[in-house]
Amino acid sequence: MKQYQNILVHALVNLGDVVLTTSAIALLKQAYPKAKVTMMVKPAVKQAVMNHPLIDHVIVFDYRARENGWKKMWRMVQVLKKRHFDLSLSFDRKLRPALLCWMARIPVRVGPDKVFDDKPSHVTWFYTHVIQISHDLNKTLQRETYQEIVRRFTGIQGSALPMMSFLEDRNRKKAREILSALPRADKYIALCVKGTFALKTWPKEYFAEFVKALSGKVSASFFIVGAPGDKPYAQEVIRAIDEACGHPMGVLNCCGATTLPDLAAVIEACSLFVTVDTGATHVAATTGTPMVVMYGCTHPDRWHPANDRALVFTSNEPCCPCTCRPEECPSNPKPDCLWHVTPEMVLQASLELLDERR
């Protein structure tokens, strides 16, 4: 097998996918143990791969289709040329990074024929090696799809788990600050209440019922994590919780208050993480903390977190997985995929995991 010394991987995708691609990078490092690996990512996810045990360098590409003119593209081509990469590998099958690698004259450019859907794409014209993915994407874990790209190119076998960047003392200090701001309790429970789009977002009424029921059975304090833009919605959920419980519960809104390593550190320190299917789910999975995940329009067959202590729920609707807009859903305004996963289901799973944690 030919050995490569300087490898560029690009994953201009969202947080969850970037975390999942690290399982494939682990296989790449096994195949080429002497190689330096540089990863190209979007600005919003760079903290997940900076200071990472598998990644030597990170290139941040501010990818906005309407704003990135040819001058910006050309500047990035010059950056790539100066690095003298001998191999590039695509985990996103996107046109722009494929074009950058081609313009930078990276001699070996590897990419899959499909990675997110089965639609053919002309982007494969820019690869020197097109990897055929033969399995059903919707019935295969996404991290396995990423690893299959590496397996088929290198011939290496085996599997690996996703990894987050190293957690430092400052991250664990931030975690302690967050937990110390909560009402004292035996259990500290993190919630992620908002998905990247509406058909991933479990009803706020259900979160309120769940918190009320669980707090009646265990001594627990709750806080909500998420992106800065999730903060207003998280506040709505907190109001619903307080109304359901009949008094303020002291639920802390930490949306936007943590870096990605901070997020991993605070979830690592928790007793339980209850979440919708979103990027934080895959960050949390790397910590090993017990977790409950509620799926709506997506399915755990593909997006199950890499955590043996995760219990997942889906109502297995015949239309799932789907990509329709909320207003196009036949059961709108209460989509079956979300409303059929009940608070009682999540409560029982949480009690089971908390008892195991004890």
- The 10s digit of each residue's pLDDT in 78-121 is 999 999 999 999 999 999 999 999 999 999 999 999 999 999 99
pLDDT of residue 168: 97
Q: CA-to-CA distance for 25 and 154, rounded, in angstroms?
A: 12
286-328: pLDDT as tens digits: 999 999 999 999 999 999 999 999 999 999 999 999 989 999 9
Homologous superfamily in CATH for domain 6-154:
Glycogen Phosphorylase B; (3.40.50.2000)
Buried/exposed 13-25: b ≥16 CB within 10 Å, e otherwise: bebbbbbbbbbbb
Q: What pLDDT score was predicted for residue 69?
A: 75
The larger pLDDT score, comparing residue 80 to residue 355, is at: 80
pLDDT at 358 (0 to 100):
52
Measure the CA–CA gap between 242 and 336, rounded to whole angstroms.
26
Q: Is 169-357 in the same CATH topology as 6-154?
A: yes
* Both tokens assigned to 185: 């309790």
Report, as an integer, the average pLDDT of 240-251. Answer: 97
* Whether the predicted model's global pTM rises above the 0.85 cut: yes
Token couple for 298: 């997506």
Q: Where do the domains of the chain lie?
A: 6-154, 169-357
Is the domain 169-357 a CATH 3.40.50.2000 member? yes
